[in-house]
Structure 1
Amino acid sequence: MRFRNFAALILPIRRLGSVHPTARIMCAAVLVNSLGSGLFLPLSALYFATVVGLAPADLAAGLGIGALAGALAGVPFGVVADRFGARNVLIVLLLGTAAVIPLYLAVTNFWQFTVTVSVIRALDRGVSGIAAAVVANVIPGAAERTEVRAVLRTCLAMGLTTGSALSTIALSVDSPAAYRIAILADALTFALAALMYLRLPAQKVPPRTAGTSAVEVLKDVPFLGITAAFSLLGAYNYAVAFALPIWAVKYTSLPHEFISAAFIVNTAGHLLLQVPLARRAKTLGSAIRMTVVGGALLSAACLLFSWTSTGPTPVAAALLLTAVLLNLVGGLGITSAQFFITSDVAPESAQGQYQGFVSTGMAVSGIVAPTVFAALPLAHAGLGWTVMALLFLLVASVVPSLVRAALRRSAGQRLESPLQGSTHGPG
């Protein structure tokens, strides 16, 4: 069976068959690659703690340094992609990751672990940003790019979920050999993904616009602001994944089954709603409105989370699930808007470094967000949730001004380079 037909059966995407051929190839690669990641990630901590013998504090420190290395890697890899072609660099990074992952088997101490995980995180973050640049370079139009990226995120979620389910086999065996096989399987999926990307046509490197430097994104103040805003709004991911379990146990009388139910709703919602919401971002104006509305929904979700600490259990349970749904819809809407806006306002000749910077912003969000939730709602209960609600509302409200500033900057550059055509969709 051809992949497009298979994907149409297993994905909640009714129009996958009409998606650009590049999307079908990338979806297959992402699905395979994320399958390996989902297999290894749930048992990675156990492997390094029980087989290698690293202390929890060493694991946390090594992972923190690795996350920092990943955050710093996005722009440099993006610059290389702009020069040599995003598809070519993506393949090299995937093969590099496949070669480095087996080094986990040779790790015996903290420094070996830290160096290895830092290299892998840097390569992986580069893959994330450059994959977005591949979409931007191949798919015409920001609306189409937004839908394709939503398809890819759905494939990613499916692969991680399936891989995590398979990891239960290794966990049930609970032997060093089972963990080592999982590591090698993860490396193999990176290599297979690289081979799949070879099916993509070689991309023509867009000519560099006059006056564009290798670090143009770092001079683009409006785009820096847009990335910072979406990185802050991206903290919504950790409201359920990080804050909810601790909040429910510490501040509510809800049974633990409701925590599991919230996770199921959140996971299913990501699979079912990612693409339909992405299709609503048809113009720059609609993407901006989705951001503002999404911020309001995130704000409302924070207030509902805070109210679950009062009242009878049935009411608290209803409030909890409603808050999860509002957080989900608002967050996915913002994610779709981010795909559209960051693709549309970035220069076509520098999509690699611009998308690499966006990837860096999301990496920083992943580092900072748990600390923010720990310092606000988990430490100060209702007051903390209220501050989070105001933060989401405020950040979302400034995005329209930042986008207008980015468009003014872009228009000024086009006036300086009259041969360059506009790439922006209608507002």
Structure 2
Amino acid sequence: MREKLSSVRFKYMLGMIVDATGSGMYLPLSLLYFHHVTDLPLTQVGAIVTAASVIGLVSNPVAGVLIDRFSARAVLVGGYVLRASAFCTYPLVDNGVAMFAVVLPVALGDTSYPPAIQSFVAEIVRGAERDKLLALQRSLRNAGMGVGGLLAGAALALDESGFYFVVLGAAAGYLLSAALLSTIRPGASAQPAGDRVSRKGGYRMVARNRPFLGLTLLNIPTAFGYMVLSVALPVYLTRELDAPVSLVGVLYAVNTVGIAVLQIPVTRVLVRYRRTRAVALGAGIFALSFVTFAVLGSVSTGAALIAGVFAAVAAFTAGELLHGATASALVAQAAPEETRGRHLAVYQLSWAVPIALAPTVLTALLSLSATGMWLLLAAATAGSALGVLRLERTLPRAAVHPVLPTAGPAVSDTGPTRKVA
């Protein structure tokens, strides 16, 4: 069994590394690619990408139904093939209509990916192994994204045709990932695809699952918090604190390398404790980092300012280490197996909506009051932490505990958790 699990982990993580490398090649250049090959204004390119993303977001519930009906692996592999096919047609794009026609399939594949990958992980591993696999995934994906970015930079440095190398390389990465993950068979505990039924009332079941909806709603403030590193912090540092632009890249590297290096050892420690406590602590540390950023607005000394910025980013990274993989494992286990796809599709909205709104909301708050924005984020993430702790007793016992305790009253793994010594 141990040998079989090792083989599954190897094939899964190899697929994730290939996926991340391909994504890392393309994501930083997505807007520039179409601007380069079509000569469309960047504003028009951005509007087309946004329109496709919104349609993809609306289709999110369909992904949940497909996962429950056909299996997470089928949707995951299908999404990879769909995006790879679209990337192969990118070199043919020469106008806005054609651009929309090729970015829409990519947006649909991107939308189906998060609930599909979380459901897939839930099918192939259980308990503490799920936390460890998700931690390894986060670590290696960060490394893969970095390698992809370097490959893209090297290709573009040689020749402008490097743009085509980037999109075709991303397509090849998706196809190879699809081939690798298609060979992984879910464990015996997973429901076979042939025995699945299409539950017309599946989303009504999600609506009645109040603890799960609570987790979903409480994740929204934290998801906004995740976005500050790429959206709000660069503007805050350069415009409000008069920090050099080069500092932004250094801080981003600190966060990325920190996740890549520390996620696995941190998660090995966290699996000894309740997932809800780790998630709440992570959100609480996010709040602490946001308070630190707010205080920095009144610091004028150069050395103290730089030290404070690095301390705040270190705290942000610590919060991400505690929250990220553990929250994914908590939610995947809290979702009932027969409607896991629908549950995780709903949960994904708590990420998708903040990601879509963050550029507008956070920049608007920054323009009103930078200090106010940080304090509002701190209050919201602190409230999220407290809310998760209050939900703990109503969540399934197996969701709260990576390793089910042997002491305490006999309670079903899927029933509400109770106090355990």
Task: Indicate the TM-score class for this superposition, using the shorter chain for normalisation.
Answer: 0.7 to 0.9
* Contact 1:223 1:402 survives alignment (8 Å): no
State the alpha-carbon separation in 1 of the partners of residues 290 and 316 from structure 2.
8
Aligned positions of 1:239-258 closer than 5 A = 239-258=228-247
* Contact 1:40 1:182 survives alignment (8 Å): yes
CA drift at 1:106:
2.4
Corresponding residue number in structure 1 for 2:112: 126
Q: Return closer, same or farther for 1:210/1:101 CA change in 2, 3 Å cut-off.
A: closer
Corresponding residue number in structure 2 for 1:294: 282
Aligned positions of 1:19-418 closer than 5 A = 20-141=6-127, 143-175=128-160, 177-201=161-185, 205=191, 213-215=201-203, 216-282=205-271, 286-309=274-297, 310-407=299-396
State the alpha-carbon separation in 1 of the partners of residues 3 and 196 from structure 2.
34
Structure 2: unaligned runs, 5 residues or longer: 400-410
Counterpart of 2:249, as a letter, is S
* Contact 1:150 1:275 survives alignment (8 Å): yes
Judge which range, 26-35 or 347-356, deviates more: 347-356
Task: Provide, for residues 102-159 of structure 1, a one-character-per-residue CA deviation record: whole Å limited to 9, x for no partner.
Answer: 2222222223322321221111221232111111012122x32122112112222111
Counterpart of 2:201, as a letter, is S
Task: Provide, for residues 269-327 of structure 1, a one-character-per-residue CA deviation record: whole Å limited to 9, x for no partner.
Answer: 111222233334437x6222222222221111112112223230100111100000111
3-state secondary structure, aligned to 1:279? helix
Counterpart of 2:143, as a letter, is M
Q: Return closer, same or farther for 1:263/1:381 CA change in 2, 3 Å cut-off.
A: same
CA drift at 1:17:
9.5
Counterpart of 2:308, as a letter, is L
Judge which range, 212-221 or 72-81, deviates more: 212-221
State the alpha-carbon separation in 2 of the partners of residues 218 and 113 from structure 1.
37
* Contact 2:124 2:186 survives alignment (8 Å): no
- TM-score, length of structure 1 as denominator length: 0.85
CA drift at 1:18:
10
Counterpart of 1:305, as a letter, is F
State the alpha-carbon separation in 2 of the partners of residues 32 and 372 from structure 1.
34
CA drift at 1:165:
0.7
State the alpha-carbon separation in 2 of the partners of residues 97 and 258 from structure 1.
34
Count of residues in Structure 1 that have an aligned counterpart in Structure 2: 399
CA drift at 1:168:
0.8
* Contact 2:15 2:180 survives alignment (8 Å): yes
State the alpha-carbon separation in 1 of the partners of residues 348 and 47 from structure 2.
22
3-state secondary structure, aligned to 1:389? helix
* Contact 1:248 1:254 survives alignment (8 Å): yes
* Contact 1:233 1:392 survives alignment (8 Å): yes
3-state secondary structure, aligned to 1:376? helix
* Contact 2:222 2:384 survives alignment (8 Å): yes
* Contact 1:296 1:392 survives alignment (8 Å): yes
CA drift at 1:337:
3.2
CA drift at 1:393:
0.9
* Contact 1:84 1:205 survives alignment (8 Å): no
Task: Provide, for residues 47-105 of structure 1, a one-character-per-residue CA deviation record: whole Å limited to 9, x for no partner.
Answer: 21122112122122122122223323333223212222222332222122211222222
* Contact 1:234 1:331 survives alignment (8 Å): no
State the alpha-carbon separation in 1 of the partners of residues 106 and 186 from structure 2.
26
CA drift at 1:406:
4.5
C-alpha RMSD of matched pairs (Å)? 2.8
State the alpha-carbon separation in 2 of the partners of residues 210 and 198 from structure 1.
22
- TM-score, length of structure 2 as denominator length: 0.86
State the alpha-carbon separation in 2 of the partners of residues 337 and 178 from structure 1.
38
Corresponding residue number in structure 2 for 1:9: none
Q: Return closer, same or farther for 1:326/1:18 CA change in 2, 3 Å cut-off.
A: farther
